[in-house]
Amino acid sequence: MKWHPRTLSLSCPITQSGLKEEDVLVEVSTCELQVHVQGKKLADMSGMLCGSIRQNLSWWRLRREVARRMNCGVDEAHERLTLEVELAKTTHKSWPDVWHKKEMKHPDARSGYPWTPAMEAAQDTKRAARVPLAQGPLQRSRATEEGAMPGFLFAPDDLCIGIDTLQDSKTITVRIHFETEALHVVQKIMPLEELFAADILDDRINIFLQGDEQNPILWAGLSGRCIPKSTTWALTTCDSFRNRQRNPSAPGHALAIVLKKHKDYYGSWPQLFSTCVQHPLMLKNYDELEDLLEALRGDEEDRRRLTAEQRRSCERQLSEWKEERFEGLPGAALLPRQREEAFDTLQFELSAQGSKCDSRDNGKMKSTFGMKGRCQDQNELEYVNPAGAADVLYIYPKEDHNSAFSLCSSGTIDPSVCYRLVHMAHHYSVHFVRVASVQEAIAFVKGMPSNVRLKHVVLGGHGDPRTLAWGSEDTESDTVMPELRVDEPATRELLDALYPHLTVDGTERTRSTVFLDACLNGRPVADKNMLQFVAHRLAGAEVFASKISFDNSQFVLDNYLHFNAQIIDGKQDKMVSAIFHPGLRALHFHPNRVCKKKELVMAQTMELCAELCQKAGDDCAAFIYYPNGNQRVTQVCFHSKRCDSMKRSKKGAMVFTKETEQEDDSDDSDEED
């Protein structure tokens, strides 16, 4: 059982084998749940509910899982069944209990006491009537107008009548105001918590309806900085735009999003937004159009309703009618509704601007890292954040033929590099070092105190799919390697030195991230590229790389607290990432390969596939994992008792072997099924 103010989730294990969905009957009313399995009532999941639910938003399903069990001393695979029922509550609040245990009837099950035929006919008996519940998580949709995006329920101009902002010395409040009657229509179809969404970054905000992100209610770049994690929101009442409602006597409703300003930006901002676009709001002359259409429609049904002159007048007014919409936020540009192109282009342009330092950030860069006078490239920079719980490490090249990794440009601070360093320093201690060889990098990393925890690491240099350069080719010798190379011992030594400083067993927000700031390190190749190699050697950390050659104008930093970035090319993101379970680091990794001899194993995740191989001992020398399945999408895990040789896989298979490197006699043919 899982409690949530909006939903109640019930689950019950099913012991019957071979059960099908048609063997299960789940019925609900607004106050009762009844479950029958193969004609027998399931008492644990049947009864009168404590509160009221929305039947049209509730659902059930049979969850099937592959599990292991002992049968007569034999470890065998079997299918585990669990019946799951999710009930959508009518009101957004917790229930004191699941089941109604009071002596009096549930309020929804009570009937009135009519004493006339008219009162009896007015009785609402549908609330207590049980109906079959929908099977599977709901995919809500509605018929959309031509040109509208598929998969969304409502557009902003269906219910938004106004946008305004407030500020004090420490906060900014953005309010989206709704038409009350339209909001009530929404609430009958879906919970409001599933309708609204907002992306808050330190320098911009995007408020939209879920499923329709490319048509935001409001997208704005902030004139200063905020603290995203301190943002709060609430659905509240407000009378500011009450006069725009169809029923002005009804209370006004608004979504209020409160942003907390960064301490460096406390005070009153002369202008809240540097850039701002918004969706068109509701029609304010819709009643006029509705009256004209209703008059003409009624006249078609009853020709005596309008005279010929009145009919011509209505037709003339209809042909001359033009939409008039409520005014939006002053200074905001209107973004007409489209599928993707216009907003994608605008978002890229504005985001790219947001990934560069402004004049205030330039000053912050100098004071943070002790830079004085005219900007000059430096081999080392360091900032110790007294409040930082972790560190960030940048390793950049000394050899840089086109100044792509320079801190300075014509004596001024490079705005893109400045943005990354300054905003990382908001939360972490930052170490920046330039090296000319892998050996220099190894010496620096091994010289760090053992208690240094690295939240983010950047390895920057000129690259291709299998190398990342820090020095000149002319300097290479038996003791100097000027570039990182896939599967080279020196590269392994560096990554092994980094690994103890990383957090590899945390959540998405706490685990370490690594960015290979080089061209093409993420481009797929026939064997192993730099992204795959580094991700395996640093298993547990998420590693990012680019599939293309790029420059700073294409790099968009979405989040520096928990690294997330894009590399935009032709409106597409060319950044890719990889992460492996920490337990896989001890195995030998062969991407795009498959053992010639293999057997299918019932496991649906890479972790379970590895675990079962480990338990099998000598009966499993290697396991093969297909991310997208082999012949079927469910055929993802295979074990090999002796992976004596491998061949190339065209289905993206990965081989993990327990022993030393295996013979690889790859050819261009696809693997055997």
| Residue 101 reports pLDDT greater than 80 | yes
Instruction: List the beta bridge partners of residue 503.
Output: none
DSSP state of 395: E
pLDDT of residue 68 exceeding 70: no
* pLDDT average, residue stretch 436-444: 95
Q: And the tokens for 325?
A: 């919409």
Q: What is the mean pLDDT of the chain?
A: 83
R_g over Cα of the chain: 31
Q: Where are the alpha helices (DSSP H) in 126-250?
A: 180-189
Q: What is the spatial distance between Cα 336 and Cα 216, in angstroms, rounded to a whole number?
A: 10
Q: Give the closest residue to 581 by CA, choosing from 505, 653, 655.
A: 505
Read off the amino acid at residue 628: N
Global pTM reads 0.55
Element (H, E) at 362: helix 359-369
Mean pLDDT of 315-343: 76
Scan for tokens 């695979």, then name that residue: 77
Q: Shortest CA distance to 400 belongs to which of 487, 309, 472, 305?
A: 472
- Indicate the pLDDT class of residue 363, thresholds 50, 70 and 90: confident
Q: Which of 360, 578, 396 is nearest to 471 (CA)?
A: 396
pLDDT of residue 545 exceeding 90, the answer is yes
Is the per-residue pLDDT at 197 higher than 50? Answer: yes
The edge-to-edge listing of strands for the beta sheet with 196-200 is 196-200, 204-209, 218-222, 273-278, 333-334
Residues 6 or more apart whose CB falls under 8 angstroms from that of 197 comprise 207, 208, 209, 210, 213
Residues whose CB falls within 8 Å of the CB of residue 605, separated by 6 or more in sequence, listed in order: none
Residue 147 has pLDDT above 50, yes or no: no
Closest CA to 203 of 220, 225, 174, 218: 225
Average pLDDT over residues 194-219: 86
Residue found under tokens 């596939």:
609
Band of pLDDT at residue 420, cut at 50, 70 and 90? confident
At 440 the pLDDT is 95
Tokens of 288: 């006029």
* Whole-number pLDDT of residue 653: 92
536 pLDDT tier (thresholds 50, 70, 90): very high
6's tokens: 């909006």
Q: How big, in percent rounded to 5, are the helix, strand and coil portions of the chain?
A: 25, 30, 45
Q: Is the pLDDT of residue 453 over 90?
A: yes
Phi, psi dihedral angles at 450 (to 5 degrees)? -65, -20
Model confidence at 660: pLDDT above 50: yes
Most confident segment among 6-20, 246-260, 652-666: 246-260
Mean pLDDT of 144-167: 71
Q: Which helix (H) or strand (E) holds 299?
A: helix 286-301
pLDDT at 346 over 70: no
Residue 289 has pLDDT above 90, yes or no: no
d(CA 284, CA 245) in angstroms, rounded, equals: 9
Per the CB < 8 A criterion, the answer to whether 58 and 131 are in contact is no
Q: Quote the percentage of the chain above a pLDDT of 70.
A: 85
pLDDT of residue 396: 95
Instruction: Show the beta-strand stretches assigned E in 303-398.
Output: 333-334, 380-383, 391-397
| Amino acid 518: pLDDT | 94
Query: Is-contact 218 174, C-beta < 8 A?
Result: yes
Evaluated on CA atoms 452, 457, 458, 459, the torsion sign reads positive
pLDDT for 152 equals 53
- Assigned CATH topology for domain 588-664: Hepatocyte Growth Factor (3.50.4)
Confidence tier at 401 by pLDDT (50, 70, 90): confident
Is the pLDDT confidence value at 207 over 60? Answer: yes
CATH topology of domain 2-135: Immunoglobulin-like (2.60.40)
* Residue 25 confidence (pLDDT): 92
**Region 631-642 average pLDDT:** 88
And the tokens for 237? Answer: 């009442």
**Is residue 207 within 8 Å of 259, Cβ to Cβ?**
no
H/E segment holding residue 572: strand 572-573
**Dist. CA 531–CA 374, nearest whole Å:** 37
Read off the pLDDT of each residue in 566-578 and give the average, rounded to a whole number.
Answer: 87
As a CATH number, domain 359-582 is 3.40.50
The answer to whether 538 and 530 have CB atoms below 8 angstroms apart is: no
Domain boundaries 156-284+326-353, corresponding CATH code = 2.60.40.790
Identical fold between 156-284+326-353 and 588-664: no
Angstrom distance (rounded) from CA 563 to CA 542? 10
| Per-residue pLDDT, 407 | 85
Domain boundaries, the chain: 2-135, 156-284+326-353, 286-320, 359-582, 588-664
Q: Which helix (H) or strand (E) holds 354?
A: helix 341-354
Residue 553 binned pLDDT confidence (cut-offs 50, 70, 90): confident
Higher pLDDT among residues 413 and 262, named by residue: 262
pLDDT-based confidence at 113, cuts 50/70/90? low
As a whole number of angstroms, the distance between CA 224 and CA 205 comes to 12
Answer whether residue 669 shows pLDDT above 60.
no
Q: Are 215 and 155 in contact (CB under 8 A)?
A: yes
In angstroms, rounded to a whole number, what is the distance separating the alpha carbons of residues 625 and 598?
11
Q: For the beta carbon of residue 47, count every other beta carbon within 10 angstroms.
A: 15
How, if at all, do strands 53-71 and 74-89 pair? Answer: antiparallel
Please tell me the distance from the alpha carbon of residue 661 to that of residue 325, in angstroms, as a whole number. 69
Q: Find how far residue 386's CA is from the centre of its chain.
A: 31
Q: Which amino acid is at 673?
A: D
Residue, of 417 and 358, whose pLDDT is higher: 417
pLDDT interval class at 153 (50, 70, 90): low
Q: In this predicted model, what pLDDT tens digit does every residue of 471-484 receive, in sequence order?
A: 998 999 999 999 99
Q: Which residue has the higher pLDDT, 465 or 294?
A: 465
Residue 394: strand pairing partners: 432, 458
Lowest mean pLDDT among 70-84, 317-331, 577-591, 627-641: 70-84
DSSP string, 559-624: ETTTTEEEEEETTEE-EEEE---GGGGGSEEEETEEESS-EE----SHHHHHHHHHHHGGG-SEEE
Q: Which of 52-66, 219-233, 429-443 has the lowest mean pLDDT?
A: 52-66
Q: Give yes or no for residue 167 having a pLDDT over 90.
A: yes
416 φ, ψ (degrees, to nearest 5) = -75, -50
Q: Name the percent of the chain lying above pLDDT 90.
A: 34
Give CA torsion, residues 454, 455, 461, 466, to 10 deg.
90
Q: What is the pLDDT of residue 360?
A: 67
Once rounded to an integer, what is the mean pLDDT over residues 604-630? 90
